[in-house]
Structure 1
Amino acid sequence: MSPTRIITSGAAYLDIDAYACCIAYAELLNLQGIAARAASSARPNASVSQTVLGWIDFPHDHIPRPDDEFVLVDVSDYHHFDPLVMPAQVVEIIDHHPGYENYWVEKLGIAADIRPVGAAATQVFQRWEAAGLLAQISGASAKLLATAILDNTLNFTGQMTTGADIHAYSVLAALGELGADWPERYFLECQAAVESDLGVALAADLKRMKPESNLPQVFAQMTVWDADRLIRNHHSVIRCWMAEQGEDWLLNIIGIGDAKSYLLADSAVSQRKLSNLLALDWQAGVAVPERPMLRKELLALGLSATPVVSQG
């Protein structure tokens, strides 16, 4: 029996990009005669809205076999791989986060596809397109990939948005029969999920950063429709919850409705780290950059910055 390729992602959570890529890439490989299945030990975060969850069931019950091969999507930092992954049996990486390009190119050559594009979903779409199989993509996979592109490009307002992302969304939205109102409906659903349980939402997209990132040690992120309303209604709860995770924390709340990022940080050290990367005006622990930004953009800035030295 040929080995099965397990399409999986990170350990902490499944965001919509990872969720979509796992399902859609497994579907493509099976169409190409390569045994594959999506699997994850992690659970979806708030970016996988209730409507999205209804499109297809995601398998969480896989027990790895000794001959399984692994494809990692939307992650290339091996410190954060799903625990079901056997690192020596990774055969492909599809990711758009910086930092581990050279490591994987040395190991996998052209099977390491790590490049600056708005969404890993766009990279998976390009594989469907190159294979000439888009006419056979399921409605669920088309809708999932399209929605992942919406989320990761911040509804096409993010700086990392490329022409490839715009093209991919146009094709996939048509194939998945997504209406023109889907972006607003989707982000409003995400906001409702966030506000229903802030602690769960924060924990589900939180990363602990390494010192060389030059970013606050605890970095959470969420994308909603109306970030300003979220902060007005829940700022004190957010501050308390984040402070319990560590003094050096940052929350990036991305508001799609007004195309802004709201950076929340209480400590002077955290604020200095961010101000070392961007021109920011901190008011009551909140700063608003000139444009919406994703964590991976801040990570790229941080990796090339001069470290901030704590004072006191």
Structure 2
Amino acid sequence: MKIITSGASYLDIDAYACCIAYAELLNLQGIPARAVSSAKPNSSVSPTVLSWSAAFQRYTPQANDAFVLVDVSDYHHFDPLVVLDQVVEVIDHHPGYEQYWAERLGCAADIRPIGAAATLVFQRWQAAGLLSRMSEQSAALLATAILDNTLNFTGQMTTELDVRAYDLLAQRANLAANWPERYFLECQAAIEADLQAALAADLKRFKPDSNLPQVFAQMTVWDADGLLHNHCNEICAWMAGQGDDWLLNVISISDGKSCLLAEPEASQQTLNRLLPLQWQAAMAIVKPSMLRKELLMLGLNLNAV
């Protein structure tokens, strides 16, 4: 049995979609597979997405299980059910562990700079000639994951492959033309309904050699200005409770910017090594918007200099 899973802390829409859609493809190809996760979906898996009832499956460990990791390649953050020596495939777009997996898995490690891991899963469906048999549910999930991870195609890592994949998947899923705006507004409403849970559900901790603040949260909303106007004090208090070196990246889809919120001066200085930033109190604006993985790449590149 192939177990398709992702990270330990949370499932964002990219991981969620990839697990479901890749397990479906493997089963269509006659390869027994299950989408499994110990983590809960974060706010990027919006209420409408949840209403599509894409189900993860129960899992009882078996000695001969093989694990496929999607949207994650850092083995420090794998779902705890994963047996590292039994990982047979990795599909990811986050930097840092390409060489490690290339040495272990060869071409079964597909880690590429691309907008969404969902695009890589889409390509597997395309290569198998089975797009016409993909469920509308999987098509909608993959399309939405591409929307989210490319920041509605404004993100700097967006490629033509992402754009083409979305077009074909949106047609397959019969998604409405206004789905992107509806989706991001839903995500923002879910975040504001339980702000602390949303922060916790998309927070990563980095080591000092990453050249990033050690506590790094991220959220994607339609209107960052509105969210920060209403909730900045609550956000800062909660983030300060997670450590004295922190950053929140609030990505604003409607106006294509990132609002970097970092009260500690040391955190601001860390970021100043990566980008030419102008801080106003605890805030710096980046246009076009940037994802956490893009900032991570800048930090890794700084180590290589």
TM-score exceeds 0.5: yes
Measured against aligned partners, the alpha-carbon deviations of 1:118-152 in whole angstroms (never above 9, x if no partner) come to: 00000000000000000000000000000000000
Preserved CA contact (<8 Å) 1:252 1:262: yes
Measured against aligned partners, the alpha-carbon deviations of 1:223-264 in whole angstroms (never above 9, x if no partner) come to: 000001000000000000000000100000000011110000
CA distance in 1, matches of 2:88, 2:216: 30
Preserved CA contact (<8 Å) 2:14 2:71: yes
Preserved CA contact (<8 Å) 1:281 1:287: yes
2:42 to 39, 42, 45: 45
Measured against aligned partners, the alpha-carbon deviations of 1:29-68 in whole angstroms (never above 9, x if no partner) come to: 0000000010000000000000001112332632221111
CA distance in 1, matches of 2:141, 2:118: 9
1:164 aligns with 2:161: yes
Gaps of 5+ in 1: 308-312
Show the 5 A alignment for 1:1-312: 4-59=1-56, 61-305=58-302
AA aligned to 2:227 is: L
CA distance in 1, matches of 2:230, 2:87: 44
CA distance in 2, matches of 1:140, 1:57: 7
Preserved CA contact (<8 Å) 2:256 2:289: yes
CA distance in 1, matches of 2:190, 2:220: 11
1:306 positional shift: 5.7
Preserved CA contact (<8 Å) 2:20 2:54: no
Measured against aligned partners, the alpha-carbon deviations of 1:93-135 in whole angstroms (never above 9, x if no partner) come to: 0000000000001000000000100000000000000000000
TM-score normalised to structure 1 length: 0.96
Preserved CA contact (<8 Å) 2:34 2:57: no
Preserved CA contact (<8 Å) 1:41 1:60: no
AA aligned to 1:198 is: L
Alignment partner of 1:253: what SS?
Answer: strand
CA distance in 2, matches of 1:87, 1:137: 30
Query: In angstroms, what is the RMSD of aligned CA positions?
Result: 1.0
AA aligned to 1:227 is: A
Preserved CA contact (<8 Å) 1:96 1:117: yes
Preserved CA contact (<8 Å) 2:203 2:216: yes
CA distance in 1, matches of 2:59, 2:178: 36
Alignment partner of 2:286: what SS?
Answer: coil
AA aligned to 2:76 is: H
CA distance in 2, matches of 1:117, 1:109: 19
Alignment partner of 2:276: what SS?
Answer: coil
CA distance in 1, matches of 2:207, 2:52: 36
Preserved CA contact (<8 Å) 1:17 1:74: yes
